[in-house]
A and B are shown apart, each in its own frame.
Chain A
Amino acid sequence: MTDVVASRIGLPKLSSLARFTFVDVILWALRLAVVIVVVGGTIGTLLKGRYAAAQWFDLVMFGLTIGSVYALIALGYTMVYGVLRLINFAHGDITMTGAFAGYFLASSFDRSGLLDRSPILAMAGILALAIVTSTTIAVLTERIAYRPFRHVRGFAPLICAIGVSFFLEQTFRGLFGPSIRSYPDPKWQRAAIDVLGFSVPRVDIIVIALAVVAMLVLYVIIQRTKMGTAMRAVSEDTDAAAMMGVDVNKVVVFTFALGGAMAGIAGVFYAFVFKQVYFFMGFTPGIKAFGAAVLGGIGSVPGAMIGGFFLGLVESVGPALFLDGIGIPAPYQLRDLIAFTLLIMVLIFRPHGILGERMAKKRA
């Protein structure tokens, strides 16, 4: 299969040669513009000195918080891609299902007062339900929508994935309505706590800490367990693994389950941070996390983690650091612009991502 793909990728060589100069000019202009914005903006911002250390710290903490959510989601993309070479376009929506499940439990805990009385128990319950929900839906998606198309060549699997994405969104819209629901906002989440002399909302610390724990657990599962090892083996060479007796379907289900679990956690955290739940909420973080996975080198687990945090930091710190300095008003509204610019730049200039190249070299 890889041979087929390689020969296909080899095809457009000639035509791109013909357009070499034209494309080249545009790409260099793009590079230059980004360098000017980044360097010029940074110098401008620092000269103006409008932001105090505490504000920078806030931005960094928020970047790490949202970055850990991206990282958790990106892991699902990268693992599924590694094993099946499939972009699971429904993954953002699988995150949404976890957020929704968590929301219903959180609301009932809020009404009963449990959310305030025993936050840890409540949070454990919310996370557990979200994990179960997202995992179940991820595994069902694979079984019903992806497996029948696994050996179909061409665009069918991709289109199927997009179809699943619409299906999940519209199902949740149909069941729970199109309106935005507000997530409970208990005092203990908002309370500021002290980190290195700066005050940080506790929810940020909770999200970052638990996300890191989840990722460590995932990493140990992938590196130390038999199924995790099989996952890595299948990612490298599916046929060879099958010929050794590895049940590839089992490994695929396992992969979707792990990705689903991470997505469930991410959904709850996303809702913790933005305090909103609605049927379309998975779309933007999903696309961004996919970008983060590409940024880190799709197929690479550490790459997805790094890519997620990096994207979170850039989109949080970027507006103040790059845009304020060149005199753009209200730079925060351009947060998504920065994120997507970064992703497009990665796709153009380094499509194999941060850790992708090393992987490709090793494989050869």
Chain B
Amino acid sequence: MALLEIDDIHVFYDKIEALKGVSIAVDEKQIVTLVGANGAGKTTTLRAISGILHPRAGEIRLGGESLADLPPHEIAGMGVVQVPEGRRIFARLTVDENLQMGAFSRNDRRAIAEDKERMLALFPRLKERLKQVAGTLSGGEQQMVATARALMARPRILLMDEPSMGLSPVMVEHVFETIRAINQQGVTILLVEQNALMALGIADFGYVMESGRIVLTGRGQDLLEDENVQRAYLG
């Protein structure tokens, strides 16, 4: 059984059906990527998983347990944590406070302090920025804050929505290295990306989305070599 199962969900914005029956399975310890053009419904899928949007039909399960009707913070408490599109760090809070918010539902002070140290080891650049207001950081640093903040919640599965968006090629490289490192530490990852080439490159499994539907699935490497995918997404 997969860790996260999305089973034929339909999600609406008022009368517009943004997801028309999407099914995705993410196995434990895998990196699964969801690629697709602008407006395909990738963000909508992640927002539905996090409980910000509620599917009108279909079900989302974590370890076999339904997440339906759970509020977002309880879903996060179960270990499904998101690095949202556009990062959405708390710009007026300090970096330290952003990390503290990631650990909001935890009470184990010592473990939280240890995790913070691990984050600073993973992103050494945040060390001297801890007391700085997060909105003053560069885009790459803000991505680090967003990722570290989510990891502070000790996720079982990390949902990442276009983490490389708007970053320099060097930072993009860094983001993908980080994703691999996080995954190697045992965190399952569902990665949404426009950068299909790099995403499929590190993914165990990939889904291609178009107009609210999954149109193609396969092992990351196979999709990279697929003619249709190459024509549509890899130029």
Contacts and interface: CB of A to CB of B under 8 A. Distances in A.
Contact of B92 (A236, A244, A247, A248): A236
B213 interface: no
A357 interface: no
Contact of B90 (A226, A233, A248): A233
Contacts of B100: 226, 229
A32 interface: no
B76 A237 contact: no
Contacts of B150: 244
Nearest to B79: A245
B105 A245 contact: yes
Interface string A216-254: 000000000010011011001101111111111100000
A362 interface: yes
Interface in B47-101: 50-52, 71-73, 76-77, 81-82, 84, 88-93, 97, 100-101
A359 B92 CA distance: 9
B52 A245 contact: no
A363 B90 contact: no
B76 A242 contact: yes
A245 B88 contact: no
Contact of B81 (A232, A243, A249, A362): A243
Contact of A241 (B81, B91, B101): B101
Contacts of A362: 91-92, 135
B73 A245 contact: yes
Contact of A240 (B51, B90, B105): B90
A245 B92 CA distance: 19
A359 B91 CA distance: 10
A244 B52 contact: no
Contact of A244 (B51, B71, B102, B135): B102
A363 B82 contact: no
A246 B104 contact: yes
B93 A233 contact: yes
A226 B104 contact: yes
Q: Which of A236, A240, A244, A362 has the most CB of B within 10 A?
A: A244
Nearest to A241: B101
Contacts of B42: none
A81 to B, nearest CB: 15
Contacts of B224: none
Interface in A191-239: 226, 229-230, 232-233, 236-237, 239
Contacts of B89: 240
Contacts, number: 82
A236 B93 contact: yes
A244 B153 contact: yes
Instruction: Give the secondary structure class of A's interface.
Output: helix
A245 B52 CA distance: 12
B10 interface: no
Given A244-B150, A362-B135, A229 B101 contact: yes
Contact of B76 (A232, A243, A359): A243
Contact of B91 (A226, A236, A246, A247): A236
Contacts of A244: 73, 76, 81, 101-102, 104, 149-150, 153
B77 A245 contact: yes
A7 to B, nearest CB: 14
Contacts of B104: 226, 230, 241, 244-247
A251 to B, nearest CB: 10
A245 B91 contact: no
Contacts of A247: 71, 73, 104-105
A117 B62 CA distance: 65
A245 B93 contact: no
A347 to B, nearest CB: 25
A145 B87 CA distance: 34
Contacts of A242: 50-52, 71-73, 76
Q: Which of B90, B97, B150 has the most CB of A within 10 A?
A: B90
Q: Which of A226, A241, A243 has the most CB of B within 10 A?
A: A243
Contacts of A246: 73, 101, 104-105
Interface in A327-364: 359, 362-363
A247 B149 CA distance: 16
A224 to B, nearest CB: 10
A239 B52 contact: yes
Interface of B: 50-52, 71-73, 76-77, 81-82, 84, 88-93, 97, 100-102, 104-105, 135, 149-150, 153
The 9 closest A-B pairs by CB, nearest first: A245-B76, A242-B72, A245-B105, A240-B88, A243-B82, A247-B73, A246-B104, A233-B90, A245-B104
Interface of A: 226, 229-230, 232-233, 236-237, 239-249, 359, 362-363
30 contacts: A226-B100, A229-B101, A230-B101, A232-B93, A232-B97, A233-B93, A233-B97, A236-B90, A236-B93, A237-B88, A239-B88, A240-B89, A241-B90, A242-B50, A242-B52, A242-B72, A243-B52, A243-B76, A244-B73, A244-B81, A244-B153, A245-B73, A245-B76, A245-B102, A245-B104, A245-B105, A245-B153, A246-B105, A249-B71, A362-B91
